[in-house]
Amino acid sequence: MEFNQAVADELAQVMSSIPEAKAGKMFGMPGYKVNGKVALGVYEDHIVAKVGLERAKTLIGKPGVQACEMRGRVWKDWVAISGDLQSQRALLEEAVHYVAENS
C-alpha cells in the first residue's frame, strides 16, 4: 500500500501532543497505536481513524470526513480524514480514546 509522506509528517506533528498513542505501523504504513491496537493510520492521501460504527455513521459527510475504503472494502468502524489535520485534532484524539476504551 502507498501513502503520502507529507500527510504522515503532518500526522506525526499533530500526534506529538497526544501522548496516549504510540507510533507504529498499519499494514506497513505509518500509524498510531493504543494498548497495541491501531487507532490511526496513513493511507494514500488521508488518515484513517477508528471511531466505531455508530460514530462513523454520524461523521461521514462532514467536512474532511468520508467513509474509509481500502482495497475496495468499506471499513465500517473507521472514517477517512483529509485536509488540515490541526483542524481535525479533536477527531484524532477521539479515535485514540475510542481504541483505549475498547481494546
Tell me the residue range of the domain where 27 lies.
Answer: 5-101
CATH number for 49: 3.90.1150.30
Q: What is the DSSP letter of 62?
A: S
Q: What is the DSSP letter of 24?
A: E
Distance from C-alpha of 27 to C-alpha of 33, rounded to nearest angstrom: 13
Model pTM score: 0.94
For residue 32, the tally of other CB atoms under 10 A from its CB is 27
State the angle between helix axes of 89-101 and 5-15 in degrees (0 to 180), rounded to the nearest 10.
70
Residue 44 has what pLDDT? 94
Q: SS3 of 48, please?
A: strand
Residue 10 has what pLDDT? 96
Distance from C-alpha of 99 to C-alpha of 103, rounded to nearest angstrom: 6
Domains of the chain: total:
1
Task: Give the tens place of pLDDT for each residue, 20-62.
Answer: 999 999 989 999 999 999 999 999 999 999 999 999 999 999 9
